[in-house]
Amino acid sequence: MSTEAVQEEGPPIEVTEDAAEQAVELLEREGLDTDEAGLRLYVQQGGCAGLSYGMRFEHEPEDDDTIGRFHGLRVFVDPASMRYIEGSRLDYEHGLMGAGFDVQNPNVVSECGCGESFRT
């Protein structure tokens, strides 16, 4: 999988081509303009390890977001989340138990047993 990307301001993260293609397809299904709308990647309090990832589509970024473009996908990251996910790689996993987005984060020191939450 290629992780080559054209970044606008450049969140220091990577998004694989497969993850970007999957997200762009979902954006288009929602009828959103991929030139303006994008995927928000964020960290929130929760889970048994303390923090968890969140993702949602948004029509436009907030004023203080870091914005990147990866293989046609705009990604928005707020300043509070950036400190937890800097250096991470967003991928899309295909498997027997299902498929979905996966964040590979080098800052994680422990994860819960189910893999849904983490601690840095």
Model confidence over 50-81: pLDDT tens digits?
Answer: 777 899 999 999 999 999 999 999 999 999 99
Model confidence over 79-109: pLDDT tens digits?
Answer: 999 988 889 999 998 887 778 888 888 876 6
Q: Is 23 helix (H, G, I), strand (E, B) or coil?
A: helix
What pTM did the predictor assign? 0.81
- Cα–Cα distances in angstroms (integers) from residue 29 to residues 14, 16, 24, 94, in the given order: 24, 20, 9, 20
Domains of the chain, by residue range, sit at 14-119
Q: Is the per-residue pLDDT at 111 higher than 90?
A: no
- Selection from 28, 30, 26, 2 nearest residue 15 by Cα: 2
Fold of 14-119: Hypothetical Protein Aq_1857; Chain: A; (2.60.300)
